[in-house]
Amino acid sequence: MQPDWPQEVHRELAAAGVRVVGYVPDAGHKRLIELCHGDRTMRAVPLTTEEEGIGLVAGAWLGGEKSVLLMQSSGVGNLVNVLGMVKVCRFPLVIVVTMRGEQGEFNPWQVPMGENTARVLETMSVAVRQAGDAQTVAGHVHAALGLAYETQGAQAVLIAQRVIGIKSFQEQRNQ
């Protein structure tokens, strides 16, 4: 049986005391976003673009609160310049990324960022953890939260497209 990774990740966020969850929606994050909105200890903040999340995270930490960002791989491309602030100020950062442009992708326009998501993050000094199957997602998020907040580092967990399991545009629409 497949583990319920959105529920497990939500449990990790709650256990770590995450109070602010910034996101740009992705079909792969649908359930986790709903769980965060439903959690009264968290403020789920929809963003118009992923880079807003970096400002949100920085401000929340200046104010003493932990946060995470949820986005899809294409959105990582929108972060590049503002990740400079994360590096220079050593803001703790945890990004949970659902991958597109991998196995089963139906949209060729998702492929260029999908193929380069890890490289873009690493180029801007964000450590990348690859969650290749559903069993490992929560563990990677746990490790990322620990490292980010214990060592003031930037961490991203990439959840492989095969974990999300979207095969067609129609299936995504019907999700």
Partner 1 sequence: MTLRRRAVVTELLRERGELLVVAGLGSTSWDITAAGDSPLSFPTWGAMGQAAMIGLGLALAQPARRVLVITGDGEMLMGLGSLATIGVQQPKNLTVVVIDNERYGETGMQRTHTAHGVDLAAVAAACRINNTLTVSADLGPVREMAYRTPGPNFAAIKVSDEKLPLVLPPKDGVLLKARFRRALLGDSADVLPEER
What phi and psi, each to the nearest 5 degrees, are found at residue 128? -110, 130
CB nearer to partner 1: give 15 or 171: 15
What phi and psi, each to the nearest 5 degrees, are found at residue 98? -90, 130
Q: How far is CA 159 from the centre of its chain?
A: 8
Amino acid at 1: M
CB of 174 to partner 1, least distance (A): 27
CB of 120 to partner 1, least distance (A): 17
Tell which residue, 115, 118, 138, 122, has the closest CA to residue 83: 122
CB nearer to partner 1: give 83 or 134: 83
CB nearer to partner 1: give 86 or 164: 86
CB nearer to partner 1: give 19 or 129: 19
Instruction: Give how far Cα 4 sits from Cα of 7, 11, 36, 52, Å.
Output: 6, 11, 15, 29
CB of 39 to partner 1, least distance (A): 15
Assess contact for 50 and 73: CB atoms under 8 A: no
CB of 86 to partner 1, least distance (A): 9
CB nearer to partner 1: give 13 or 16: 16
Assess contact for 83 and 109: CB atoms under 8 A: no
Residues that bind partner 1 (CB under 8 A): 16-17, 19-20, 43, 45-49, 51-67, 81-82, 84-85, 88-91, 149-150
CB of 150 to partner 1, least distance (A): 7
